[in-house]
């Protein structure tokens, strides 16, 4: 089964929508594209295998390939490098709402697939950058 993340880039972060088929599961927020910030950035476009995981320190999270994570973050904290953070909705000022709830709903949607032994993939695609810094001239997929 394949999930699709359609995102757009801004200098302050990458915003997207996560779909399973035609159904939108949640919004996703991430760190900016690497050309905006080399120190902390989002995963590159591509296809990644998803795997549920648990640790005593962090609780439940989802591994995205070898480097990425899907995890809950509060609205005040910014996503870390290669982190995808589910969001249910946004306030008018752009503050994310119900982040923990969005993650739990996402986990509930995906758990039956893992229980049946299915492999879940995440495909990440993006819209082009409307204005480009010199460092952003690398290919963006649309």
pLDDT at 133: 56
Q: What percent of the chain has pLDDT over 70?
A: 89
3-state secondary structure at position 58 = coil
Cα separation of 75 and 90, whole Å?
9
CA gap 35, 43 in Å, rounded: 12
Domains of the chain with CATH codes: 2-136 (2.40.440)
Residues 120, 18 contacting (CB under 8 angstroms): no
Which tens digit of pLDDT belongs to each residue from 10-53?
888 888 999 999 999 999 999 888 777 778 888 889 999 999 99
pLDDT in tens, 74-85: 767 888 899 999
* pLDDT, tens digit, 9 for 90 and up, residues 83-100: 999 999 888 877 788 888
Report CA-CA distances (Å) from 19 to 38, 40, 126: 28, 25, 13
For the entire predicted model, the pTM comes to 0.83
Cβ neighbour number for residue 142 with a 10 Å cutoff = 8
Write phi, then psi, for 14 (nearest 5 degrees): -105, 130
**Mean local confidence (pLDDT), 105-131:** 88
pLDDT at 135 over 70: no
Cα–Cα dist 75/55, whole Å: 22
pLDDT, residue 114, reads: 93
């Amino acid at each position: 089964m394949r999930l699709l993340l359609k995102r757009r880039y801004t200098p302050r972060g990458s915003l997207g929508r996560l779909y399973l088929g035609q159904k939108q599961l949640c919004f996703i927020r991430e760190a900016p594209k690497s050309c905006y910030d080399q120190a902390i950035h989002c995963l590159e476009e591509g296809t990644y295998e998803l795997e549920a995981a648990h640790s005593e320190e962090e609780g439940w999270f989802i591994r995205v390939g070898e480097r990425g994570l899907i995890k809950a973050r509060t609205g005040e904290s910014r996503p870390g490098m290669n982190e995808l953070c589910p969001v249910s909705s946004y306030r008018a000022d752009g503050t994310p709402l119900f982040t923990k709830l969005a993650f739990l709903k996402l986990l509930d949607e995906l758990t039956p697939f893992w229980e049946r032994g299915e492999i879940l993939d995440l495909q990440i695609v993006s819209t082009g950058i409307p204005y480009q810094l010199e460092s952003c001239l690398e290919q963006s997929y649309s």
